[in-house]
């Protein structure tokens, strides 16, 4: 193929490579047909726009004319945005692990046979010159091309082995299994054993938030909250982790929002990309933990993270962007780090004395001769060191941070990946609905509702959801995560603000999960629909990664929707998936936290509070119902005159100033007809 074809794509990541001398192709029929007809192996490069090492390899190799000449001579070069094509990324990350016996990452570099698209060699980042045991990329290209030309029988044998390993690794239905809470208990022990007592979080460097694990341990505490001996250790693990992340360099102390991860084990120095999906998972956790504890830190971080999402990630036309780059002006972190002189020039002496102590400027530089800000001293410690009152220190900090933020806004901003993904936007809807309730911020609920409307208008078509919207175009059939996350998000939004139209959309999404994604014979949901292009393997992923597993979220959402509507199809599909996943979650509970959350809902079972009241009274009833952190409970406030409801809901009618129907699973207790009696009735539910 004689030219780079990425200029017609909408992915900002692919467009970054449209001017490379490499003859990049998108993953499409034209490229795959050319590879097959010319018997030319495929060089598959998978990355994303905010990936630092993707940029490094692009500058070193893909922009180099000599390297491009070798790539073009020997390969059909295919570039994939892993955020648009998580189906391909999942398959080839797993294949990389099989081939190399090492974990993968980005950029992912895989060499595929032209007919079967099975990889016969691969790696991640390769340098332009041999370094740290890695071969020079250009030399590697020539060796791989020669190997393909002369070792096809060996490659075919290896391909058969890889396909068999894929088949063997797929979850196998074991028949009806008695589900119990043993993996919930095991997950607690695994998380506590992995807990970093000094810095919080789980494990060491590099250190990721591992949000599904934090949510699981917080739910573990809540399960015991009204027991004679509540599990305070689990509560400590969650709050310590959230505290240390918020005080560390993982959190943007000036602008709000969290970076992807830190390279060290004490949350100090991040890779500076900011992902919507990370922040959309952390926002509700901080809001919920503020509701639990009343600690000002959690409320402040939740509010600031929500503000960052609305200020920097929300498109004026609707929907949230995907990510902010780690780099600006060609250097990682340049937008965020500081020279002391810049800070001194922006502040007066009194403000500088406070900021210096607070953010570690009295210590050696921590990032390439500069300072990345983290909380090095508490407000009380700063007050003692500067001879100011605590109140005065807080005022000085607020004033100084406003000034520094203003200075920072004048810098060259990191690149923003402006595509809007259904899955990440669904996580954002869920986050804003939960945070809006707990923080008493109707603006967040407004934005959640508007974002759902954006998806409805731009990404929902008659034939189903699409996964990405960029440059005015929606594209690519949606995946399991898109449907499951959006269904889950709608159920949270309905609890913040009822809309019967949204309930109907939730049922439509659930029906599509059952008809196009479910394996009705063996349980569970495939990552791709029945209408998706045939790939080398159809995945049925169960474990969490940077986001919760789609199968886990689907089970939780279908189980809840089934209890809300009385539709037993949803309940059966949820149970079948838990049956399929049982061996996996028993073998490694900590890696399947989303499924464990769903299992907990299945075992307890889900509590539902259905409020029917005149419009003027709804908010009072809903405030009382949602006053505590209760992840195993759904609360819906539906106006007395609301029509179009399913039978399960329409039978619950309003009386006087309102009534609340308290149900556990499909069993309902006597209705509560006085608002003042609702808190006590809820406490009895636990």
**Rounded distance, CA 52 to CA 106, Å?**
9
Beta bridge partners of 466: 477
pLDDT at site 685: 84
Which residue reads 């692919």 in tokens? 14
Residue 464, Ramachandran bin (φ over 0: left; ψ between -120 and 50: alpha; else beta): left
Alpha helices in 294-330 (DSSP H): 296-308
To which H or E segment does residue 683 belong?
helix 678-685
pLDDT in tens, 147-174: 999 999 999 999 999 999 999 988 988 7
**Rounded distance, CA 35 to CA 603, Å?**
51
Domain borders along the chain are: 6-169, 336-410, 607-685
**Rounded distance, CA 494 to CA 639, Å?**
12
For the chain (686 residues), the mean pLDDT of every run of 10, in chain order, is: 90 97 98 97 97 94 98 98 97 95 94 97 96 92 97 96 92 85 98 97 96 98 90 98 98 98 97 97 98 97 98 98 95 96 97 97 96 97 95 97 98 97 98 97 98 98 96 96 98 97 98 97 96 95 96 98 95 96 97 98 94 94 92 96 90 90 90 94 87
Cα distances (angstroms) measured from residue 369 to each of 278, 329, 663: 28, 17, 59
The tokens for 327 are 């780099």
Cα distances (angstroms) measured from residue 268 to each of 343, 366, 414: 19, 8, 20
Which residues have CB under 8 Å from 151's CB, separation 6+?
none
**What is the pTM assigned to this prediction?**
0.97
pLDDT at site 648: 86
Supply the DSSP symbol for 590. G
The tokens for 665 are 């699973």
For residue 47, which phi and psi values (nearest 5 degrees)?
A: -155, -165
Q: Which CATH architecture has domain 6-169?
A: 3-Layer(aba) Sandwich (3.40)
For residue 197, which phi and psi values (nearest 5 degrees)?
A: -65, -30
**Rounded distance, CA 545 to CA 451, Å?**
25
Please provide the distance, in angstroms rounded to a whole number, between the alpha carbons at the two ends of the chain. Answer: 65
pLDDT at site 114: 97
Angle made by CA atoms 285, 290, 294, in degrees to the nearest 5: 165
Supply the DSSP symbol for 351. H
pLDDT at site 665: 87
CATH topology of domain 336-410: Arc Repressor Mutant, subunit A (1.10.10)
pLDDT at site 176: 76
Assess contact for 340 and 476: CB atoms under 8 A: no
pLDDT at site 1: 66
Is residue 386 classed as helix, strand or coil in its secondary structure? helix
pLDDT in tens, 284-309: 999 999 999 999 999 999 999 999 99
pLDDT at site 115: 96
């Amino acid at each position: 193929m004689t030219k780079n074809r990425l200029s017609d794509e909408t992915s900002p990541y692919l467009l970054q490579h449209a001017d490379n001398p490499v003859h990049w192709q998108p993953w499409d029929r034209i490229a795959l047909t050319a590879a097959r007809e010319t018997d030319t192996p495929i060089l598959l490069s998978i990355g994303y726009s905010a990936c630092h090492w993707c940029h490094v390899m692009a500058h070193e190799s893909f922009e180099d004319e000599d390297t491009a000449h070798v790539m073009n001579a020997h390969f059909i070069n295919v570039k994939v945005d892993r955020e648009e094509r998580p189906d391909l990324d999942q398959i080839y990350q797993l294949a990389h692990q099989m081939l190399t016996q090492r974990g993968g990452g980005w950029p992912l570099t895989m060499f595929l046979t032209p007919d079967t698209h099975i990889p016969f060699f691969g790696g991640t980042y390769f340098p332009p010159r041999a370094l740290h045991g890695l071969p020079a990329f250009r030399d590697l290209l020539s060796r791989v091309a020669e190997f393909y030309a002369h070792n096809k029988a060996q490659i075919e044998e290896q391909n058969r082995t890889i396909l068999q390993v894929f088949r063997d690794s797929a979850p196998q239905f074991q028949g009806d299994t008695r589900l119990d809470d043993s993996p919930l208990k095991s997950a607690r022990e695994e998380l506590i054993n992995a807990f970093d007592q000094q810095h919080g979080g789980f494990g060491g460097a590099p250190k990721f938030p591992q949000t599904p694990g934090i949510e699981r341990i917080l739910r573990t505490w809540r399960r015991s909250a009204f027991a004679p001996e509540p599990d305070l250790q689990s509560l400590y693990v969650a709050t310590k982790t959230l505290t240390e992340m918020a005080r560390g360099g993982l959190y943007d102390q000036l602008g709000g929002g969290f970076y992807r991860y830190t390279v060290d084990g004490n949350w100090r120095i991040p890779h500076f990309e900011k992902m919507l999906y990370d922040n959309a998972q952390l926002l509700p956790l901080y809001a919920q933990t503020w509701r639990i504890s009343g600690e000002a830190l959690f409320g402040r971080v939740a509010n600031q993270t929500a503000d960052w999402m609305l200020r920097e990630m929300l498109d004026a036309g609707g929907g949230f962007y995907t990510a902010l780059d780690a780099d600006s002006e060609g250097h990682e972190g340049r937008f965020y780090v500081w020279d002391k002189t810049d800070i001194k020039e922006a502040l007066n002496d009194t403000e500088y004395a406070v900021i210096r102590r607070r953010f570690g400027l009295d210590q050696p530089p921590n990032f390439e001769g500069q300072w990345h800000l983290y909380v090095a001293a508490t407000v009380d410690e700063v007050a003692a060191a500067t001879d100011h009152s605590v109140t005065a220190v807080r005022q000085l900090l607020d004033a100084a941070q406003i000034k520094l933020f203003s200075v920072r806004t004048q810098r060259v901003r990191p690149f923003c990946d402006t595509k809007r993904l259904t899955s990440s936007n669904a996580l954002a809807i869920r986050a804003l609905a939960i945070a809006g309730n707990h923080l008493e911020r109707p603006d967040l609920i407004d934005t959640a509702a508007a974002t759902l409307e954006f998806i409805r208008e731009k990404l929902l078509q008659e034939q189903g959801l699409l996964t990405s919207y960029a440059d005015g175009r929606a594209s690519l059939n949606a995946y399991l995560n898109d449907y499951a996350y959006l269904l889950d998000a709608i159920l949270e939004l309905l609890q913040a603000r009822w809309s019967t139209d949204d309930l109907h959309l939730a049922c439509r999404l659930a029906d599509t999960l059952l008809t196009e994604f479910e394996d009705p014979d063996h349980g569970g949901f495939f990552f791709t629909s029945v209408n998706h292009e045939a790939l080398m393997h159809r995945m049925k992923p169960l474990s969490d990664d940077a986001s919760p597993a789609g199968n886990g979220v689907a089970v939780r959402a279908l189980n809840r929707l089934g209890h809300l509507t009385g539709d037993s199809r949803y309940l059966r599909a949820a149970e079948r998936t838990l049956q399929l996943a049982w061996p996996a979650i028993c073998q490694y509970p900590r890696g399947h936290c989303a499924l464990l959350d769903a299992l907990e809902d299945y075992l307890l079972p889900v509590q539902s509070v259905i409020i029917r009241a005149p419009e003027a009274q709804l908010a009072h009833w809903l405030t009382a119902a949602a006053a505590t952190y209760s992840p195993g409970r759904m609360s819906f406030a539906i106006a007395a005159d609301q029509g179009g409801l399913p039978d399960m809901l329409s039978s619950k009618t309003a009386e006087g100033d309102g009534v609340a129907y308290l149900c556990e699973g499909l069993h309902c207790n006597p209705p509560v007809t006085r608002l003042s009696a609702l808190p006590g009735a809820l406490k009895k539910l636990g």
